[in-house]
Amino acid sequence: MKSKLIIFFLFSVLFVNAQDYDLVILNGRVMDPETMLDRVLNVGVKDGNIAIITPKEIEGKKTIDAKGLVVAPGFIDTHFHALDGLSLKLAARDGVTTGMDLEIGAIKVDNWYKAKEGAWPLNYGTGISHEGIRIQVLDPEVELPEWADAPVLLGRLRAEACADGNCGWQDTESNLEQLNEIMRLADEGMLQGAIGFNSTVGYMVDGVSTLEMYKLQEVAAKYGRVSTAHVRYHGSPKNPQAPIGFQEILANALVLNAPLLLQHNNDFGWMENEDKLQKARAQGHNVWSEYYPYTAASTSISSSFLQPEMLENVFGGVYERDIYDPIDDKFLTKEEFLETEKKDPSRLVVIYNQNRKLWMNDWLKMPHMTVASDAIYSGLGVDSWDVPYEEYKGHPRTAGTRAKVLRLARENGVPLMFSLSQMSYWPAKHLGDAGLEAMQVRGRMQEGMVADITIFDPETVTDKANYKMKQQGLPSSGIPYVIVNGKCVVENSEFKKVWAGQPIRYQVTDDSKLEPLSKEYWLKKHAINNISVDDCSLHANEHKHDHHHEPQDNK
């Protein structure tokens, strides 16, 4: 009888253990860029976290057989405008588990996060939008919604702000009162948990003063948060414009000892920029960059640098060669461009840069140059979950960035672990080092980390999307499983409407660090004050002392 009880007890323990995991991933090649783990192992997931990584047999309520597949930390995108159903499911099919818009960002950040709560498949995050708060201050005639992010800011609000012929957000240099209000709104975003300060200064070259850029980076720095920028003069082939645009924000970051993400470092001057970033990191600064693996960019047709005086005279562009309209499926002549811009100022167009063909494979090999897609929304609304992939109209980077990086890396002999660092670990590490706790437990395949996991076939994974109509949103292949917070968002290469996403943000606080600007305040802080006779005597003695030693030094 006693032996039967022991057998029953052991059976009960084994049964409980067998059901202890919500999900098990068996026989996969587990790869972790932080520890360099690369081994066939089994993974057990419990309550949204990686509970165990082991060579031993394990069982759970749900099983994925990953034999022949890589089990990697989920891909993290820091430049993510895929903010509707169709574009989100394309990103998920491409292996993304976290999408954060750290370029355009959002206004009214707290409301933005509330709108996503419990209704988003991927982890989500945003920063405070430089462009958005300039619209608030410099285009006061614009009626603002409860919150706004890229689809609204780039579309309706930009158009409304320019409807009176005065694009204040883009062209107006703020006076002291306006700058203080812009700083206040940036500080408000930080209080509401924004990931950082996000600037599209490259679209606002004439309006944003160097002082404004410096002071807004300082707002973020006071909270220890990252500043990001689509830099001034981005894409210009004229020396020294492109490097100067980066040097502006790098100098600010270094003197502020603040984190910095250089966006779009896939254009003229990129090698010089990477040289400086590597040297700055060697000195202990938390600075890095990003790229996407395409020879063309995409933005709204009304962008200032697409106007003839810029495109033709500065960038040396040719409309019928460089500007492609994915809606009408053709390259636009100058006349067609101007007509389309007038008719539909928020339309997204594709801009080719022939030089990127020479550089693209080099980006695959750059340390801490992270993969960030600049994924573009479909324009079909948040609820476009059931719209066929073929209906997506936009840049193929939304659908294929990660798979294309993996394919190009495979074809060029780049180590797979390096590519995973670019797509998962390095973005998580840099943001985690800036104190963003949600990123300190992501981007890694380790016990205790959040179970954001991408499973793919390293031999066959590839992108399918291209610039042609009906093919711009073809989903990547070879990525059969994408797991967000322990739940399958992609299963057997099929997107699931599983609202597994969690907010990526800082703690909300009411401890403002705002210091409004005034000449009197600045002089009090930076100049000597209340100079006494003794002070003057001291300085005179110092100069006399220096002069006395000068002959000796010369000798």
Residue 131 near residue 213, CB atoms below 8 Å: no
pLDDT of residue 545: 47
Residue found under tokens 């309520």:
61
Query: What 3-state DSSP class applies to 531?
Result: coil
Pick the residue with more confidence: 175 or 530?
175
Which one has a higher pLDDT value, 343 or 36?
A: 36
**Of the given ranges (113-117, 453-457, 529-533), which has the lowest mean pLDDT?**
529-533
- Residues 213 and 199: their CA atoms lie apart, in Å, by 9
Can you give the pLDDT at residue 329? 84
Cα separation, 125 vs 101, whole angstroms: 6
Mind listing the pLDDT tens digit for each residue in 221-237?
Answer: 999 999 999 999 988 88
Choice between 440 and 234, residue whose per-residue pLDDT is larger: 440
**Closest residue by Cα to residue 197 from 107, 273, 297, 325:** 107
Checking if the pLDDT of 552 tops 50, the result is no
Q: Is the pLDDT of residue 539 over 80?
A: no
At 38-97, the pLDDT tens digits run: 999 999 999 999 999 999 999 999 999 999 999 999 999 999 999 999 999 999 999 999
Is the per-residue pLDDT at 9 higher than 70? Answer: no
The total of other beta-carbon atoms located within 10 Å of residue 154's CB is 24
Q: Is the pLDDT of residue 294 over 90?
A: yes
47 close to 486: Cβ distance less than 8 angstroms: yes
User: What would the two tokens of residue 392 be?
Assistant: 């997506």
361-386 pLDDT per residue, tens: 999 999 999 999 999 999 899 999 99
Q: What is the pLDDT of residue 538?
A: 46
State yes or no: pLDDT of 389 exceeds 60.
yes
Contact (CB, 8 A) for 408 and 113? no
What pLDDT sits at residue 14?
A: 45
Within 13 Å and on the Cβ side, how many CA atoms surround 306? Answer: 31
Q: What is the reported pLDDT for 353?
A: 83
Residues 6 or more apart from 378 whose CB is under 8 A from it?
Answer: 84, 85, 86, 87, 384, 387, 391, 392, 393, 394, 398, 473
The whole-model pTM stands at: 0.89
- Bridging pattern class, strands 123-129 and 196-199: parallel
Mark residue 358 as left, alpha or beta (left: phi above 0; alpha: psi -120 to 50; beta: remaining): alpha
Pairing of strands 330-331, 123-129: unpaired
316 pLDDT band, cuts 50/70/90, is: confident
Distance CA 443, CA 453 (A): 9
Which tokens sit at 32? 């972790």
* Whole-number pLDDT of residue 310: 83
CA distance 282 to 248: 20
Return mean pLDDT, the chain. 91
Q: How confident is the model at residue 534 (pLDDT cuts 50, 70, 90)?
A: low
Beta bridge partners of 517: none
Predicted confidence band at 532 (pLDDT cuts at 50, 70, 90)? low
- CA contacts within 13 A on the Cβ side of 242: 20
Give the DSSP per-residue string, 347-386.
-EEEEE-TTHHHHHHHHTT-TTEEE---BPP-SS-TTGGG
Bridge partners (DSSP) listed for residue 77: 99
Please report which confidence band the pLDDT of residue 348 belongs to, taking 50, 70 and 90 as the band edges: confident
Position 412, amino acid: N
Return d(Cα 554, Cα 539) in angstroms, integer.
Answer: 23
Cβ-Cβ contacts under 8 Å for 70 (sequence gap 6 or more): 28, 29, 31, 416, 455, 456, 457, 458
User: Is pLDDT at 8 greater than 70 in this prediction?
Assistant: no
Mean predicted confidence (pLDDT) in 139-167: 94
Q: CB-hemisphere CA count at 13 Å for 544?
A: 6
Q: If DSSP states are collapsed to H, E and C, what string results for 505-523?
A: CCCCCCCCCCCCCCHHHHH
Classify each residue of 409-447 as buried b or exposed e, where b means 16 or more C-beta atoms within 10 Å of its C-beta. Answer: bbeeebebebbbbbbbbbbbbbbbebebebbbbbbbbee
Tell me how far apart the alpha carbons of residues 266 and 226 are, in angstroms, rounded to a whole number: 20
Q: In this predicted structure, what is the pLDDT of residue 305?
A: 76
Assess whether pLDDT exceeds 80 at residue 337: yes
Range with the lowest mean pLDDT among 271-275, 285-289, 303-307?
Answer: 303-307
pLDDT digits (tens, 9 = 90+) for 410-421: 999 999 999 999
Q: What is the pLDDT of residue 11?
A: 42
295 contacts 358 by C-beta, under 8 angstroms: no
Burial (CB count within 10 angstroms: exposed 0-12, middle 13-18, buried 19+), residue 178? middle
Do residues 293 and 360 lie in contact, with contact meaning Cβ atoms separated by under 8 Å? yes
